[in-house]
Amino acid sequence: MMAQPQRRRRYFVMMGICIALFVLAWGVVRLWSIPAAIAMCVVAMAIPPFAAIVANRRDRDDKWWDQ
């Protein structure tokens, strides 16, 4: 059973990666390759939906959905 704090931690890690990709793409990578920076932003745009799925995933033993 995955506890709620562990789900929250995974969510914040994924969102931190998302923000880091945006910052690195336009702060550093764009100086060498704009297509690579755009690709990093596209990857970063795909992360938040998956982070929400991870954070809200129901485990078999979870009772908080039943309340």
Tens-digit pLDDT profile for the chain (67 aa)? 556 778 889 899 999 999 999 999 999 999 999 999 999 999 999 999 999 998 887 766 666 656 6
Cα torsion angle, 8, 11, 15, 21, sign: positive
pLDDT at position 64 = 63
**In the chain, how many domains are there?**
1
Q: Has residue 63 been placed in a domain?
A: no
Residue 65 lies in a domain: no
Quote the pLDDT of residue 31: 94
Q: What confidence score (pLDDT) does residue 63 get?
A: 67
Specify the pTM.
0.77
What pLDDT shows up at residue 37?
96
List the domain range (segments joined by +) for residue 45.
4-56
